[in-house]
Amino acid sequence: MSPSQESVFPEYETDDSQTSKLIRKVKETPFVPVGMAGFAAVVGYGLYRLKHRGDMKMSLHLIHMRVAAQGFVVGALTCGVLYSMYRDYLQKPKE
């Protein structure tokens, strides 16, 4: 592409590093990393508790951990959507 032509998607053609892209995405949607961290924490806790589950069946323990992890991720995404709606519609738009 020659320098005189205007780019159709300039945000996709910049030479950003992976860390700068990650930081930008975290600033745009802060609850996604919270959901991912919560998911990892629930999975880690579930693996830790797997050894000390007592007489609970393995399948029942795994189902409980899956539901807890999914609940944390869905809750974080819901908070993110509500935050985004608040930021877009209720705060004064910067014009």
* Structural domain range at position 42: 14-54
Assess if residue 66 is contained within a domain: yes
DSSP-assigned states of every residue in 19-85: HHHHHHHHHH-THHHHHHHHHHHHHHHHHHHHTT-TT--HHHHHHHHHHHHHHHHHHHHHHHHHHHH
Assess if residue 24 is contained within a domain: yes
Per-residue model confidence as pLDDT tens digits over 37-87: 888 998 899 888 888 888 889 899 889 989 999 998 899 889 988 988 888
Judged against a pLDDT cut of 80, whether residue 90 lies above it is answered with: yes
Mean pLDDT of 4-32: 73
Assess if residue 4 is contained within a domain: no
Residue 35 and residue 62 in one domain: no
Residue 38 and residue 49 in one domain: yes
Assess if residue 82 is contained within a domain: yes
pTM exceeds cut of 0.85 = no
Residue 18 and residue 46 in one domain: yes
Assess if residue 89 is contained within a domain: yes
Assess if residue 8 is contained within a domain: no
Q: Give the model's pLDDT for residue 84.
A: 85
